[in-house]
């Protein structure tokens, strides 16, 4: 008799705790299918940096291709020191290399943090797509904090206080991300200080996701860790400001008081990813050390993003949409509610219908607001203004005298596809 059992069957719909494939990947696949059909598609869905990795950082990666040994689980000491120096330089906060944890992307570190810390997850609506699913996977409670369009979707200290006051001693982890994905908004110092005061009052552990910090359009990023150093972990990495998303390197910097969390994360890291890719870590030392070439790279990246962001912002507003003014990164979060009546006639009732119809009728791919935690029926969506040749644009921007803005001739020359996407979207809104 054959006692061999067949392996357990797998649900081909592959889902984990009710989660299925991310909407970001789904819209990308749909866009690719349209491209295969010969359609012109404007990929404003996926939030990938359009800029190349700075040459000096690439050179360092080449020079270290031979590095083959496993590195310490917490990270290459030279890199941990460079990251600590980076935050000290930028924020004036006294980190040392021992306070830093390096991982294969900050997303992985966030997941491990949620795994080891038992508190509720607090996130503002809207928030980046992965915070909530990660909490769901590890079985944490998710508490959405409300924001309003009138206040440009920024979290207000009063809202945080209103939430925490009900159960002041409850352990909580809050993720604050700015410049923000998806809203493009950021915080000024006064607002950060007020939020920090509430976080301290309720002893919230604050994960400050500053992965777009260097892409503040005016180079004026300030970390909330300045105002709540004892409770804030700063998250950063190479993916956005250094254009190296595919290299997979993220960093967490911990205050000494949260060293126990860093150690707990180290235990999970040692049993999961072991250590981050060695050549990438060696190259990242160069990126975090900075220098004139990186300063210039960032200066021109910001200049380009500021001009494009403003261009889209002004045109969408003129077309009748509602949206916060972009202050950093490369996203806009747009409220299309003023078009609800017209869209209803076309069968659009929620943000997913909206994005599907827009993609079908114009080739413009953007992501529905629902995946960022907005109410499903709200007609909102995120647009990433990154579908252009970043290497060419950096060369062009360096030729425009400092202090002069990148005018419409420049935009037409370097971002024709983005301008066309904006035309398509605005015209569609007019006639839809």
Q: Residue numbers of the site for ligand PLP (CB under 6 A)?
A: 47, 105-107, 128, 177, 181, 209, 211, 237, 239, 245, 250
Q: How far is the CB of 268 from ligand PLP (least distance, A)?
A: 16
Report the residue number, 237 or 368, with the smaller CB distance to ligand PLP.
237
Report the residue number, 209 or 214, with the smaller CB distance to ligand PLP.
209
Report the residue number, 23 or 411, with the smaller CB distance to ligand PLP.
23
Report the residue number, 128 or 297, with the smaller CB distance to ligand PLP.
128
Q: How far is the CB of 188 from ligand PLP (least distance, A)?
A: 19
Q: How far is the CB of 284 from ligand PLP (least distance, A)?
A: 12
Q: Across 330-419, where does the E strand assignment appear? A: 331-335, 364-365, 367-368, 380-384
Report the residue number, 177 or 307, with the smaller CB distance to ligand PLP.
177
Q: How far is the CB of 47 from ligand PLP (least distance, A)?
A: 5
**DSSP-based three-state secondary structure for 215:** helix
Alpha carbon of 351 to those of 189, 414, 430: distances in Å? 33, 31, 18
Report the residue number, 108 or 377, with the smaller CB distance to ligand PLP.
108
Please say whether the beta carbons of 97 and 84 come within 8 A: yes
Please say whether the beta carbons of 321 and 338 come within 8 A: yes
| Residues whose CB falls within 8 Å of the CB of residue 57, separated by 6 or more in sequence, listed in order | 242, 244, 283, 284, 286, 287, 294
Q: How far is the CB of 246 from ligand PLP (least distance, A)?
A: 9
Alpha carbon of 430 to those of 337, 371, 405: distances in Å? 14, 26, 29
Q: How far is the CB of 149 from ligand PLP (least distance, A)?
A: 20
Q: How far is the CB of 226 from ligand PLP (least distance, A)?
A: 20
Q: How far is the CB of 49 from ligand PLP (least distance, A)?
A: 9
Q: What secondary structure does DSSP assign to 315-337, as a single string?
A: HHHHHT-B-PPP-BTTEEEEE-G
Report the residue number, 273 or 428, with the smaller CB distance to ligand PLP.
273
317-324 contacts at long range (C-beta below 8 A, 24 or more positions apart): 318/426, 319/425, 319/426, 319/429, 319/430, 320/429, 321/429, 322/149, 324/149, 324/152, 324/153, 324/154, 324/183, 324/184, 324/185
User: CA 27, CA 38: separation in Å to the nearest integer?
Assistant: 17
Please say whether the beta carbons of 54 and 294 come within 8 A: yes
Alpha carbon of 113 to those of 154, 208, 372, 402: distances in Å? 24, 13, 20, 42
Q: How far is the CB of 195 from ligand PLP (least distance, A)?
A: 17
Report the residue number, 332 or 419, with the smaller CB distance to ligand PLP.
332
Count of Cβ atoms closer than 10 Å to residue 222 Cβ: 19
Q: What secondary structure does DSSP assign to 217-245, as a single string?
A: TTS----GGGT-GGGEEEEEESTTTTS-G
Report the residue number, 126 or 255, with the smaller CB distance to ligand PLP.
126
Q: How far is the CB of 11 from ligand PLP (least distance, A)?
A: 27
Q: How far is the CB of 89 from ligand PLP (least distance, A)?
A: 20
User: CA 42, CA 418: separation in Å to the nearest integer?
Assistant: 8
- Residues 181-204: b if buried by 16+ CB within 10 A, e if exposed: bbbbbbbeeebbbbbbebbeebeb
Report the residue number, 211 or 298, with the smaller CB distance to ligand PLP.
211
Please identify the residue of the shown chain whose CB is closest to the bound ligand PLP.
105
Report the first-to-last Cα separation within the chain, whole angstroms: 68
420, with CB counted inside 10 A (0-12, 13-18, 19+), is: middle
Report the residue number, 309 or 363, with the smaller CB distance to ligand PLP.
309
Which two tokens mark 340?
Answer: 């609800």
């Amino acid at each position: 008799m054959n006692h061999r059992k067949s392996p357990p069957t797998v649900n081909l719909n592959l889902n984990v705790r009710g989660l299925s494939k991310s909407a970001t990947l789904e819209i990308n696949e749909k866009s690719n299918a349209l491209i295969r059909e010969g359609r012109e598609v404007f990929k404003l869905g996926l939030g990938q940096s359009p800029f190349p990795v700075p040459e000096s950082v690439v050179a360092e990666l080449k020079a270290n291709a031979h590095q083959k040994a496993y590195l310490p689980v917490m990270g290459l000491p030279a890199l941990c020191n460079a990251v600590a120096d980076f935050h000290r330089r930028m924020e004036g906060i006294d980190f040392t290399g021992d306070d830093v944890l390096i991982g294969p992307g900050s997303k992985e570190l966030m997941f491990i943090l949620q795994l080891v810390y038992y508190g509720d997850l607090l996130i503002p609506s809207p928030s980046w797509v992965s915070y909530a699913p990660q909490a769901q996977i590890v079985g944490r409670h998710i508490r959405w904090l409300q924001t309003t369009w009138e206040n440009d979707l920024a979290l207000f200290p009063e809202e945080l206080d209103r939430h925490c006051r009900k159960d002041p001693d409850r352990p909580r982890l809050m993720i604050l991300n700015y410049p923000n994905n998806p809203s493009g908004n950021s915080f000024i110092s006064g607002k950060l200080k007020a939020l920090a005061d509430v976080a301290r009052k309720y002893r919230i552990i604050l994960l400050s996701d500053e992965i777009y910090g260097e892409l503040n359009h005016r180079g004026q990023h300030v970390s909330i860790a300045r105002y709540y150093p004892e409770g804030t972990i700063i998250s950063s990495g190479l993916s956005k400001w250094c254009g190296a998303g595919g290299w997979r390197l993220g960093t967490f910097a911990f205050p000494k008081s949260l060293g126990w969390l860093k150690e707990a994360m180290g235990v999970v890291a040692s049993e999961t990813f072991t250590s981050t890719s060695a050549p990438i870590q060696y190259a990242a030392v160069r990126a975090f050390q900075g220098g004139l070439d990186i300063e210039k790279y960032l200066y021109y990246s910001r200049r380009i993003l500021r001009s494009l962001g403003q261009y889209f912002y002004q045109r969408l507003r003129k077309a009748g949409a509602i949206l916060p003014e972009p202050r950093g990164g490369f996203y806009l979060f747009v409220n299309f509610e003023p078009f609800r009546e017209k869209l209803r006639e076309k069968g659009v009732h929620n943000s997913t219908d909206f994005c599907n119809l827009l993609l079908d009728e114009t080739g413009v791919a953007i992501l529905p607001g629902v995946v960022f935690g907005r109410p499903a029926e709200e007609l909102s969506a995120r647009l990433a203004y990154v579908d252009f040749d970043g290497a060419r644009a950096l060369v062009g921007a360096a030729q425009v005298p400092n202090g002069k803005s990148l005018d419409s001739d420049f935009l037409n020359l370097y971002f024709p596809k983005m301008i066309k996407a904006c035309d398509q979207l605005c015209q569609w809104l007019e006639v839809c």
